[in-house]
Amino acid sequence: MSTDQTTAYAYCPGGTGKKIKFCCRDLLPELSSVQRMAEGEQFTAALQHVDRLLASGKERPCLLAWRGLLLRALGRGNEIAANAERFLAQYPDNRVALADMASVLANQGKATEALRLLHQALAKADEVWEEQIFDAVLEVAQALCSEQLSGPGRSLLLLALNVDKDNYVAQQMLRNLYRSTSVSLLAKETFQGPPCPAEVPWKKEYDDLAAALQDGRWCKTVDRFVQFAEQHPDSVSVAGLMVGLWSTMGDAQRCRQAADRFAAMAQDWEDAAEALAVAMLVDDDPLGDLVDVFHAEWEVSDPEKFEQAMLGNPCVVCEPVDYRSYDRQGESPPPKALYRLLDRPPPGGEPTLENIPIQLAKIEYYGRQTDRPARLSFQPLGAPAWETVKEALLRTASGAMKPEPTTQMVWRDSASLMLFRTAMYCPLALQRHRQEELRLQHLRRVMLEQWPDQPLGVLGGLTPRSAAADLAKRLLVQAVIKVVEGFIVARYPLDFNELRAALGLELAPPVESLLDGRENIPLIRLHRVAVERFSAEQLNEMLVLAFERDFRVAAEKLAAAIVRKPDAENSPVAMLSLLVLVRSCQDPQQQLEYIRKGRALTLQAGRSDHLWDMFELENSMMRNDVTRFKAVFSHLAQEHMYEEGVAEHLQYFMAFIERAARDVQAQQQAAADATTSAPQAAGLWMPGQDQGGGGKLWTPDE
């Protein structure tokens, strides 16, 4: 934002779109002074100077823009909003004023309103953005992602990177979005539908608009999209393009209208279902099944009676407290105990799907360790589960707790997705692969037996099972299944065709080729690729997409297929596959073979093999190979210590070994304590202690 005399031809920092010489030439010396003070971090002095100019009646965009920047630098949040309102009231069409107000709304949690104003700012922006516009793009993107509106958020991040491809914040935010388990696979890419036919005369214009949509440059061409759609009302490709446009803009109503239009024209039911699912995801309540999620605390009036009651309940598991995870800089003591409330007692023998308990709640118990009463603190719970937990605790410890807890609604969540996130309680000694087997069996039961009977607002209050019996609603049910599948199948290899078959719906076919001449297979279908129909190079392109979007089920399937391909043997194309397989492999010997192959390919390419050494360090622990562990550890420390991630990795292993030894001791002690009495504090908690032991009440000021 240079404002020196020598740069009078620079653009005004206030977003007027004019050069300083033509819009605020009389203020050039003053703006230069403000610039110099800001560069010298004299923000208060610069703000006072700007305020004097404004008080003299010079309500110029450049001064209001500078005032907003200086207030941000000083962290004066309350005044930022007032300045943005003042700026926008004076100049309602100014792009910087619109961006400033969009930032304010985003930080107030009003993502949809912020997006509307940001669209107006972007439509007026030039090729080079003012600082406030770039900041607004990132802040609105963050707010959208926080409210599960990931499609529009992703589009804004792509737009930011199109303007500044090296921006670290935008890169990290996009990476986090792609790696998030709470973002649907459908929201991790832009919907387009079938490609444009090669023979039509308007193909180049279609391709230009499609490219603008993919990289976020659609904001200045929305009118052109609408006009193009009106010119080609019978094109299914253009109809699909409009679904993508309105989904990236976060316009739920127009996206649903476009999806309905596309679905009526589409030749393939899966294309139609995915378009409808994308439109659902733009809505605040995609499935129409949001429920309140509560944080709750419950005062314990008789701690001794409560502790005895919890220990006497076979459906309660008391676990040792890892005090290191409760480092709160002296704000409050750690809990006295951790309880897991289960729907049935843990099995005495081998856990099976029939006898393994479902965890109803995880509870932190704080005794009389401070001047606060003893209390329970609950992990956030959905409304239906909360009622079950309340009843179970009142049956267990009636009379030891206050009649009612205090609750606070913290967010709303989909009842369907919460059903799939139900936690099982697995004994600590149960092997990981067995836990995964039981988890998958449980999810399959939820998919086939429980979720089909979940009433959904998007189905008019019907359940998927009953709606599937209505021919007019079968496509909508397929779309609803796509919504759920997009959240679940990235992590768990559930076959949603089993669900379709159980509901009498058409099955999704294997993907045997690039459909309809498309360049890419839709992300949500990658796990159904018929791997034998594609070359190692083609599979690797799919793997890169699955890996970047954290589609683990597809990535593992594609990686396993690539290493079996003869044309991938000893080829760099197998490198990513080996990385994926090393991370997912449960067999230590097989994992070691992948590590050796990956190391060989890396050295063959003339690159450092420290990454494979780090994998082998963990592998040698799994195999209890102490000699090899020492050798690899020593090699990393001596040869690769200064390479990325190595020092942190070695520190992690040292801490892990120390922690594992302590955990074994803690588990042994907890088991001994559980056979005698409840966890007893030696006294009141004091800062720096694990638990209890003081002579007076602890308070935060001490």
Q: What does the mean pLDDT of the chain come to?
A: 87
Identify the three-state secondary structure at position 331.
coil
Q: Is the pLDDT of residue 452 over 90?
A: yes
Q: Whole-angstrom Cα distance, residue 143 to residue 105?
A: 9
Identify the three-state secondary structure at position 128.
coil
Identify the three-state secondary structure at position 2.
coil
Q: Whole-angstrom Cα distance, residue 325 to residue 659?
A: 12
Q: Whole-angstrom Cα distance, residue 386 to residue 535?
A: 51
Alpha carbon distances (Å) from 242 to 111, 154, 233, 248, 441:
22, 17, 11, 10, 40
The string of DSSP letters for 47-78 reads: HHHHHHHHHTT---HHHHHHHHHHHHHHT-HH
Residue 501 tokens read as 């078959």
Measured in Å, how far apart are the chain's first and last C-alpha atoms? 48
C-alpha closest to that of 644 among 605, 675, 607: 607
Q: In terms of pLDDT, which residue wins out, 487 or 659?
A: 487
pLDDT, tens digit, for every residue of 383-413?
888 999 999 999 999 889 999 999 999 999 9
Q: Which residues touch 164 (CB under 8 Å, ≥6 apart)?
A: 134, 170
Alpha carbon distances (Å) from 325 to 321, 374, 690:
9, 21, 11
Amino acid at 361: A
Residue 589 tokens read as 């010997």
Amino acid at 454: Q
Sign of torsion, CA 138 144 150 156?
Answer: negative
pLDDT, average across residues 248-257: 94
User: What's phi and psi for 620, nearest 5 deg?
Assistant: -65, -30
- Hey, which residues does 698 pair with through a beta bridge? 370
C-alpha closest to that of 341 among 365, 322, 317, 319: 317
CA-based angle 242:472:414, to the nearest 5? 65
pLDDT at 361: 94
* pLDDT band of 638, cuts 50, 70, 90: confident
Q: Whole-angstrom Cα distance, residue 3 to residue 242?
A: 42
C-alpha closest to that of 295 among 415, 408, 374: 408
pLDDT, tens digit, for every residue of 662-699?
666 666 666 666 555 444 444 444 444 444 433 333 33
pLDDT-wise least confident of 133-142, 477-486, 601-610: 601-610
Q: Is the pLDDT of residue 700 over 60?
A: no
| Cβ atoms within 10 Å of 530's Cβ, excluding its own | 12
Q: What share of the chain is helix, strand, coil (3-state, %, to 5)?
A: 60, 10, 30
Q: Is the pLDDT of residue 544 over 90?
A: yes
C-alpha closest to that of 536 among 493, 575, 592, 585: 575
pLDDT at 688: 45
Burial class from Cβ neighbours inside 10 Å (0-12, 13-18, 19+) for residue 451 reads buried
89 CA to centre of own chain: 36
pLDDT at 697: 39
Cβ distance 573 to 538 under 8 Å? Answer: no
162 CA to centre of own chain: 22
Entry field: residues in the chain: 702
pLDDT, tens digit, for every residue of 77-112?
889 999 999 999 999 999 999 999 999 999 999 999
Q: In terms of pLDDT, which residue wins out, 568 or 310?
A: 310
Cβ distance 50 to 70 under 8 Å? Answer: yes
pLDDT, average across residues 590-604: 92
pLDDT at 633: 86
